[in-house]
Amino acid sequence: MSVDLSLYLVTDSTPAILKGRDLCSVVEQAIQGGVTVVQYRDKSNDTGALVETARKLHQVTKKYNVPLLINDRVDVALAIGAEGVHLGQDDMKFEQAKQLLPKDAIIGISTSTVEEAKKAVADGADYLGIGTMFATPTKTNTKSVIGTAGTQIILDAIKDSSVGTVSIGGINHSNVQRVIYQSKSSQKSLDGVAIVSAIVAADDPKASAQKFAELINNAPRFA
Ligand code: TZP
Ligand code: MG
């Protein structure tokens, strides 16, 4: 399955970000604003609750034909028939996930170094999450903040591959065009940006997503 990565929403159910609102309704508003793919990211260990929420989210995303990817948990993705998974370096290995999931499932991999990116490409990942772009309170235990310079080095290293690419970490309305623009000087461009708090924590998630979509469309274009 090919996926439009241009405005990639990553969910967050922590009270500071969700602020008592219903996750499904926040995600629906964000999709109405222009989000093209959704990743359900929830670090809870309550598998039953994860499956229940993922199933509800899937009802929403399916209504709009937007793929739903599950962070970390291949078992949850399989349980609800999600379109794919997003795996970090410490999660299930790519080969195992590939074996367990349907043939056309999307598998994305978090990468912050050239080595990790090259390995994910060699494995056959559908896309790479490249980051952390900018330091962010949403994820403080990141291995590294690589900035636009580190992102360019990774993009250059995988220039011969058709793998998808999204930048993640601290991306907001003020810096999104810079992120896109600077990736243009790499030998491979970004296909999109992944956003957590600037959409999920926004007072109006639909308006925030709409503004991102506008900024992305008016920026020097993604390749
Ligand atoms: N991986 C690297 S940074 C990050 C993740 C999941 C969080 C990004 O959140 P925000 O709120 O968009 O900065
Ligand atoms: Mg993970």
Q: What is the pLDDT of residue 160?
A: 96
Distance (Å, rounded) from C-alpha 80 to C-alpha 102? 12
Q: Is 54 in the pocket of ligand 1 (CB under 6 A)?
A: no
- Strand ranges, E, within the chain: 7-10, 37-40, 68-71, 84-87, 106-111, 127-131, 164-168, 192-195
Q: Which residues of the chain have a pLDDT value below 70?
A: 1, 220-223
The residue nearest atom 13 of ligand 1, judged by CA position, is: 170
Q: Is the CB of 146 under 6 A from ligand 1?
A: no
110 is catalytic: yes
Instruction: Give the number of other Cβ atoms within 10 Å of residue 109's Cβ.
Output: 26
Handedness of CA 167, 3, 41, 61 (dihedral sign): positive
- Identify the active-site residue in 13, 139, 161, 184: 139
Q: Give backbone dihedrals phi and psi of 166, rounded to 5 degrees, phi first.
A: -130, 145
ipTM higher than the 0.85 cut: yes
CA distance 163 to 194: 16
The string of pLDDT tens digits covering residues 118-177 is: 999 999 999 999 999 999 999 998 779 999 999 999 999 999 999 999 999 999 999 999
